[in-house]
Amino acid sequence: MAELTPEFLAMGLVWLVAFLFSTTVHEASHALAAWKLGDPTAYLGGQVTLNPLPHVQREPIGMLAVPILSYLFTPGWMMGWASAPYDPWWADRHPRRAAWMALAGPASNLLLLTGTGLLIRLGTAAGFLAAPASVTFTHVVEGAAGGPGAVAPVLSILFTLNLLLLVFNLLPLPPLDGSGALPLVLPERVALRFQEFMRQPTWSLLGIFVAWKVIGEIFFPIFLFAVNLLYPGLRYR
């Protein structure tokens, strides 16, 4: 367990706020897409909202307990999960609609990632943010001399976290969103059988295990690629 210094706790608060915000937007996007595509389950459950409270009430362990514990015991990092309910009968009747609903969550993280990147570029152009000499997951940008230093870690964590949520959720493994999007490229009969397969708890647990193993191997190169796109001309390694 890390030493509970004021700096460590302050960074943990930034992580938690960024995590709650990003996962709330992710799940609200799933809920909104499902509602618009004909499944009101999440809407009736109060999930079509940017208020994090209904999402936390649905998944208190995944959205509070695990993120806080993971930060304390794996210093500098935070993990967790959230979910939005849907009607499996609706998904079986409309597999392509369900696939678009699955993609809505990662799409929201792509928008947040892009928006954060634009804020970083605007901040560096205005001179109150600067590209760092080297990058880490929590140090994508730094405050320039005389700039608001507290902004840089917030933007850094939002950038990294939403990139992670985007990449992780697009892995084509159950129960992640990438597997839910497969009906867009599979024949309908195959897609229906695959959806039944994905709902089995055993395969979902195995999928999560494999996904965490895979993301550990692929995320850092993707992170470096994204940062080098953010700062054209600089070659971070």
pLDDT over 70 at 146, yes or no? no
Q: Is residue 117 part of a domain?
A: yes
Q: What is the mean pLDDT of the chain?
A: 91
Per-residue pLDDT, 155: 97
* DSSP state string for 80-117: --------HHHHHH-HHHHHHHHHHHHHHHHHHHHHHH
Distance CA 16, CA 64 (A): 8
Buried b (16+ CB within 10 A) or exposed e, 36-73: ebebebbbeeebbbeebebbbebbeebbbebbbebbee
- List, in order, residues 6 or more apart from 101 with CB less than 8 Å away: 30, 33, 34, 37, 39, 86, 91, 180
Per-residue pLDDT, 144: 86
Q: Which of 55-69, 125-139, 195-209 has the lowest mean pLDDT?
A: 195-209
Q: Which of 13-22, 146-155, 157-166, 189-198 has the lowest mean pLDDT?
A: 189-198
pLDDT over 90 at 130, yes or no? yes
Q: Is residue 1 part of a domain?
A: no
Q: Is residue 237 part of a domain?
A: no
> Would you place residue 4 in the very low, low, confident or very high pLDDT band (cuts 50, 70, 90)?
confident
pLDDT over 80 at 192, yes or no? no
Per-residue pLDDT, 147: 64
Contact assessment for residue 24 and residue 94, using Cβ atoms and an 8 Å cutoff: no
Q: pTM for the complete prediction?
A: 0.93
Angle at 214 between CA 210 and CA 219, to 5 degrees: 145
Q: Is residue 46 part of a domain?
A: yes
* Type of residue at 94: H
Q: Is residue 93 part of a domain?
A: yes
Q: Is residue 225 part of a domain?
A: yes
* Percentage, residues of the chain above pLDDT 90: 70
Indicate the Cα dihedral angle 71, 73, 75, 81, nearest 10°: -30
Q: Is residue 214 part of a domain?
A: yes
What would the mean pLDDT of 113-128 be, rounded to a whole number? 96
Q: Is residue 86 part of a domain?
A: yes
The total number of structural domains in the chain stands at 1
pLDDT over 70 at 70, yes or no? yes
Nearest to 143 by CA among 163, 120, 116: 120
Structural domain that includes position 200 = 6-230
Distance CA 124, CA 144 (A): 8
Distance CA 165, CA 113 (A): 10
